[in-house]
Amino acid sequence: MKFDFTYYNPTKIIFGVDSLNHLEEELNRFGSNVLLAYGGGSIKRIGLYDKVVEILKQSHKNIIELAGIMPNPTYNKVLEGANLVRNHRIDLILAVGGGSVIDCAKAISACAYSPEKDPWNAYWIDYKPVSHQVVPIGTILTMVGTGSEMNGGSVITNEEEKLKKGRVFSANLYPSFSILNPEWTYSVPKYQMVSGIFDIMSHLMEQYFSGTDDNVSDYLIEGLLKNLIVNTKKALQNPQDYEARSNIMWNATLALNTLVGCGKEQDWEVHSIEHQLGAYTNCAHGMGLAAISIPYYKMIYPYGLDKFVRFAREVWNIDGEGKAKESIALEGIAALQEFIVSSGMTTTLRELGTTEEMLPLIAESTDLGGYYKSLTHADILKILKECY
Amino acid sequence: MKFDFTYYNPTKIIFGVDSLNHLEEELNRFGSNVLLAYGGGSIKRIGLYDKVVEILKQSHKNIIELAGIMPNPTYNKVLEGANLVRNHRIDLILAVGGGSVIDCAKAISACAYSPEKDPWNAYWIDYKPVSHQVVPIGTILTMVGTGSEMNGGSVITNEEEKLKKGRVFSANLYPSFSILNPEWTYSVPKYQMVSGIFDIMSHLMEQYFSGTDDNVSDYLIEGLLKNLIVNTKKALQNPQDYEARSNIMWNATLALNTLVGCGKEQDWEVHSIEHQLGAYTNCAHGMGLAAISIPYYKMIYPYGLDKFVRFAREVWNIDGEGKAKESIALEGIAALQEFIVSSGMTTTLRELGTTEEMLPLIAESTDLGGYYKSLTHADILKILKECY
């Protein structure tokens, strides 16, 4: 049992319907120049943009805007933001939106005053630590899934190199504060909502399907998965169910704030494959994960049979009485598949804009990994073909 | 559903067999004068004292010792420590031991430079916030249960006033770092070990038995309870089972680092009753909790029936098929009782040195609370008599 770890997470989470009321108090801890980073128009549509600008003005901040941060944020956008940070001597990057906006903010913070000549290569290819002075980040979360509001993760797409790469920064790049109000997620379109939900689910499963031990984390993850399944059903029936949306929102944060991974081996291969799928198709991240997961788990379950049996029993309540381990495990994967289909998630890459020609390119460019089974590029191609 | 909260926990946890190797690196962040706070001789017996002193010397620290911190640390001991802090201009309080030592360290830190004339009344009776400059705390944990290594809790006994009072300081009094090595818990006597385990269990149950909602926290707590039950059995069979002791140690931290309580009503009445039991008998905290819990839950379960049914099913795997809710709930409480007895925990106050005359005094001096049922002093006396 690998049970040695360091856990340090200094992000302050402010959660609830009135959480925005705490923004002013948080802003007081930082200097005057704020980079307001956001995506498309959704924060304007729900009236959040106006509220945030009002609070910034009340707090006597100079607002510099970085609008138009796209889903799968690009390295070029990062460089644009880093330029603004330097030119306006930014004291705080306030990211308002979902994971893409927050990931982009972290990347901007790391790159703005980086001593590296080529920050892309240094941070996303060579995973160098960031030890120079960075710009603090605050977030206001409106879309749920990535967990970026309470971790150091930053997934950036380099369009020129056709690479979508995630890296995890250390705690100096965790948001200083994150403000979460479940009501802001009400108007997220169903497609984006379920995509985010599968992202959460995949974070949990990718930390779960590894190891042969019996770790606190396994129990926590089972609890989070069960909570997520129950509340997804509720939220699909009534998108304005505050309790369900609260559960999903907080579940997402806990799924990837590094806590449930403590002392545990992990297998992030599904994410690795999806990142290259995303680099080629720009698809919704969670939908890509949903499509890849079923053939991936069908390929690896024989090598981690006991854990897949446990998954079936504990998460999906499958009665294993008198059945072979193999069938229990497969029933668990079938239950997962049924959840994917009934929630309106994607099961084929074709729906995500993938062409047959892309499959070998995606397979070849994916980082190899895997825990129960070490994958080859040929294995990845097989997985991609199976869900094509 | 009350789902509004702030979560902020800046304690760095360093966990594992080699975790002490990180002490020097942590010490470098603080000034030269270290107050080394510990209890009796146990840290000397296991050789930890010598190792810590060696690392402190290598780090060129001036060591000032505060030895003899007792279980149920007294306010007089706190004042003794505060005096040392002021006289030696202490830069870091390094608490080596269990919850009592760490609780005492927090109290010393709060009191040393307090502007309050009477810190006891200010902090433990009136729960005033601590906003003045405090002395940072680091911990090296050798006994498991209180969770004090990653929270602001500080339970102090005022002998003159016969009051044992807990309070929760804000994040400025959380330990800066806590070093946890499960091997240090191997030599804890069985009585202390199971007492600590019931303390963990009670922390989890006191956050669980409240509310009518269906919260992420409920699922996390069920997972932690199941993990604790499984690993307690393993650790009782083999106290040197590293995996089991690791699970219990990390479980204890998670049970009371405020995370599983986020967005949830809580009911700390069992702790309130035990605190006064402790003030009169100086008994092992977890043993007091174990004795009180069964009559307490038998009294309140009809008012929170659905949650007790859920507890029976989810935590104890009780098959509810065709049974009335009432019987399922009672089977759950019976399973808890069986766990208490088979683990060698205490079920009567008599074993803890309580006399019959003390019962009304304990009942009258206990703070009133309760969630499913608001308790009266008469209710508390009834509970105490039932487990006397």
Percent of chain A at pLDDT > 90 equals 94
Please check the confidence at residue B28 and state whether its pLDDT lies above 60: yes
Q: Which fold has domain B190-386?
A: Dehydroquinate synthase-like, alpha domain (1.20.1090)
- What pLDDT is stored for residue B2 in this prediction? 58
Q: Is the ipTM of this complex over 0.90?
A: yes
Please check the confidence at residue A320 and state whether its pLDDT lies above 90: no
Please check the confidence at residue B1 and state whether its pLDDT lies above 70: no
Give the mean model confidence (pLDDT) for residues B155-166: 92
- What pLDDT is stored for residue B21 in this prediction? 96
Cβ atoms of A96 and A36 within 8 Å: the answer is yes
Of A9, A11, A263, the CB nearest to B250: A263
B41 — pLDDT class (breaks 50, 70, 90): confident
A127: contact with B, CB 8 A cutoff: no
Boundaries of every domain in chain B? 12-184, 190-386
pLDDT single digits (tens) B103-142: 999 999 999 999 999 999 999 999 999 999 999 999 999 9
How are strands ordered across the β-sheet holding A92-97? A62-66, A33-38, A92-97, A137-141, A177-180, A12-15, B5-7
Query: CB B50: neighbour CB atoms within 10 A?
Result: 11
Query: CB A169: neighbour CB atoms within 10 A?
Result: 20
| H or E segment and range at residue A15 | strand A12-15
Of B1, B12, B18, the CB nearest to A8: B12
Q: What is the CATH code for B12-184?
A: 3.40.50.1970
Give the mean model confidence (pLDDT) for residues A95-117: 97
pLDDT single digits (tens) B78-97: 999 999 999 999 999 999 99
Q: Would the pTM count as exceeding 0.90? A: yes
Q: What's the CATH superfamily of A189-386?
A: Dehydroquinate synthase-like - alpha domain (1.20.1090.10)
Please count the residue pairs, one from chain A and one from chain B, whose beta carbons lie less than 8 angstroms apart. 124
At residue B136, φ and ψ (nearest 5 deg) are -65, 155
Please check the confidence at residue A315 and state whether its pLDDT lies above 90: yes
Please check the confidence at residue A298 and state whether its pLDDT lies above 60: yes
**Contact across the interface for B224 and A214, Cβ inside 8 Å:** no
Please check the confidence at residue B253 and state whether its pLDDT lies above 60: yes
The mean pLDDT of chain B is 96
Cβ atoms of B313 and B320 within 8 Å: the answer is yes
Please check the confidence at residue A81 and state whether its pLDDT lies above 70: yes
**Contact across the interface for A216 and B250, Cβ inside 8 Å:** yes
Please check the confidence at residue B244 and state whether its pLDDT lies above 60: yes
Q: Which of B109-113, B291-295, B318-322 has the lowest mean pLDDT?
A: B318-322
∠ Cα B239 B244 B250 (to 5°): 120
**Contact across the interface for B219 and A224, Cβ inside 8 Å:** yes
B214 — pLDDT class (breaks 50, 70, 90): confident
pLDDT single digits (tens) A164-191: 899 999 999 999 999 999 999 998 999 9
Nearest chain A alpha carbon to B4: A16
- What pLDDT is stored for residue A56 in this prediction? 98
Query: Rounded CA gap, B344 and A125, in Å?
Result: 55
Nearest chain A alpha carbon to B231: A214
Task: List CB contacts (< 8 A) between A250 and chain B.
Answer: 3, 216, 262-263
Q: Which of A72-81, A87-96, A205-214, B49-58 has the lowest mean pLDDT?
A: A205-214
Residues 148-177 of B with CB under 8 A from A: none
Please check the confidence at residue A370 and state whether its pLDDT lies above 70: yes
- What pLDDT is stored for residue A2 in this prediction? 58
Equal CATH topology for A12-184 and A189-386: no
- What pLDDT is stored for residue A87 in this prediction? 98
A214: contact with B, CB 8 A cutoff: yes
Give the mean model confidence (pLDDT) for residues A352-362: 97
Residues 32-91 of B with CB under 8 A from A: none
Residues 184-213 of A with CB under 8 A from B: 213
Tell me how close the Cα of A47 comes to any Cα of chain B, in angstroms.
21
Residues 327-356 of A with CB under 8 A from B: none
Cβ atoms of B196 and A204 within 8 Å: the answer is no
What's the burial of B183, exposed, middle or buried (CB within 10 Å: 0-12/13-18/19+)? middle
Query: Rounded CA gap, B388 and B384, in Å?
Result: 6
Task: List CB contacts (< 8 A) between B17 and chain A.
Answer: 4
- What pLDDT is stored for residue A214 in this prediction? 85
Give the mean model confidence (pLDDT) for residues A197-226: 95
Q: Which residues of A102-119 are buried (b: 16+ CB within 10 A; e: fewer)?
A: bbbbbbbbbbbebeeeeb
Q: Which of A61-65, A68-72, A297-301, A381-385 has the lowest mean pLDDT?
A: A68-72
* CA nearest neighbour of A136 among A30, A63, A55: A30
Please check the confidence at residue A1 and state whether its pLDDT lies above 60: no
